[in-house]
C-alpha cells in the first residue's frame, strides 16, 4: 500500500514539470517567431532602401555621362575655333582677306567685333571651368551613392544569414536553447545597425546637390 501511495505522489510532480517544460518551449517558439518576423521586416526595409539608392545611382550616372558629353562638345567647339584661328594665321590669302575685310570696317564696328571675340573667348573658358567643376561634383556624388548601395547589399546579406539562423533555431528547440545568447547578441547588433542606417539614409537625402542646369 505504501509503494502505491509513493507512485501516486510522484505522478503529479512529473506532470507539473512536463507542463512547465512545454510552456517554456512555447515561449521560446513565440520569441523565435517574433524575431523572424522582425528580421523579415528588416530585410524588406533594407531592400526598399536599396532600390531607392539604386534609382538615385542611375540618375547620378545619367547626369554624370550627360555632363561628360557636354564637355566633349564644348572641347570640340574650342578645337574648331582654334583651328580656324590657326588657318587664318597660317594662310596668307585668308589672312590678307581678313585684314582687308577688317580694314573696310568702321572703327566702331571693329571695336565691337574685337569685344565680341574677347567676350566669346571668356565665355568659353568659363564654361569649360564650370563643366569641369560640375563633372567632378557629379562623379563624387555618383561614387558616394554607389558605396551606399554596396553597404545596403552587405546589410541585407547579413540579415538573411541571421534570419536563416532563426529558422534553424525555431525548428530545433534544443539548438535554440544553446544558441539563444549568441542569437540575441547578433539580433541586437542588427537592430542597432538598422537604426544607424535609417539615420544615414535621412542625412544622405538631405545632402544631395541641387539638379543640374544645362
Give the model confidence (pLDDT) of 32-45 as tens digits: 777 777 777 777 77
Q: How far apart are CA 135 and CA 104, in angstroms?
A: 44
Q: What is the dihedral of CA 70, 76, 79, 81, to 10 degrees?
A: -90
Question: Higher model confidence: residue 57 or residue 70?
Answer: 70
Q: pTM of this prediction?
A: 0.35
| pLDDT for the residue 8 | 52
Q: Are 138 and 212 in contact (CB under 8 A)?
A: yes
155: nearest Cα among 69, 53, 78: 53
Could you report the per-residue pLDDT of 188-208, keeping only the tens digit for each?
A: 555 555 555 555 555 444 444
Lowest mean pLDDT: which of 108-122, 160-174, 182-196?
182-196
Q: How far apart are the first and last CA of the chain?
A: 103
Q: How far apart are CA 126 and CA 134, in angstroms?
A: 12
| pLDDT for the residue 210 | 44
Q: How far apart are CA 134 and CA 138, in angstroms?
A: 6
Could you report the per-residue pLDDT of 69-118, keeping only the tens digit for each?
A: 877 877 777 777 777 666 656 555 555 566 566 667 777 777 787 788 88
Provide, rounded to the nearest whole percent, the portion of the chain with pLDDT above 90. Answer: 0
Q: Per residue, what are the HEC states of the chain?
A: CHHHHHHHHHHHHHHHHHHHHHHHHHHHHHHHHHHHHHHHHHHHHHHHHHHHHHHHHHHHHHHHHHHHHHHHHHHHHHHHHHHHHHHHHHCHHHHHHHHHHHHHCCHHHHHHHHHHHHHHHHHHHHHHHHHHHHHHHHHHHHHHHHHHHHHHHHHHHHHHHHHHHHHHHHHCHHHHHHHHHHHHHHHHHHHHHHHHHHHHHHHHHHCCCCCCCC
| pLDDT for the residue 48 | 74
| pLDDT for the residue 86 | 66
Mean pLDDT estimate for the chain = 68
Provide, rounded to the nearest whole percent, the portion of the chain with pLDDT above 70. Answer: 57
Is residue 123 scored above 80 in pLDDT? yes
Amino acid at each position: 500500500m505504501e509503494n502505491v501511495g509513493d507512485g501516486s505522489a510522484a505522478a503529479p510532480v512529473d506532470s507539473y514539470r512536463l507542463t512547465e517544460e512545454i510552456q517554456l518551449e512555447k515561449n521560446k517558439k513565440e520569441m523565435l517567431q517574433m524575431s523572424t518576423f522582425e528580421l523579415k521586416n528588416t530585410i524588406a526595409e533594407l531592400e526598399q532602401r536599396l532600390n531607392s539608392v539604386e534609382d538615385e545611382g542611375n540618375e547620378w550616372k545619367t547626369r554624370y555621362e550627360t555632363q561628360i558629353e557636354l564637355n566633349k562638345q564644348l572641347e570640340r567647339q574650342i578645337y574648331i575655333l582654334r583651328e580656324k584661328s590657326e588657318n587664318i594665321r597660317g594662310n596668307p590669302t585668308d589672312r590678307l582677306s581678313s585684314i582687308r575685310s577688317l580694314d573696310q570696317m568702321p572703327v566702331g564696328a571693329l571695336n565691337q567685333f574685337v569685344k565680341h571675340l574677347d567676350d566669346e573667348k571668356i565665355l568659353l573658358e568659363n564654361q569649360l571651368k564650370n563643366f569641369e567643376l560640375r563633372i567632378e561634383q557629379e562623379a563624387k556624388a555618383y561614387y558616394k551613392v554607389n558605396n551606399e548601395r554596396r553597404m545596403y547589399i552587405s546589410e541585407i546579406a547579413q540579415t538573411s544569414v541571421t534570419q536563416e539562423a532563426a529558422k534553424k533555431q525555431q525548428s530545433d528547440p534544443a539548438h535554440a536553447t544553446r544558441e539563444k545568447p549568441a542569437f540575441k547578441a547578433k539580433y541586437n547588433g542588427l537592430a542597432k545597425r538598422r537604426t544607424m542606417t535609417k539615420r544615414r539614409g535621412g542625412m544622405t537625402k538631405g545632402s544631395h546637390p541641387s539638379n543640374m542646369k544645362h
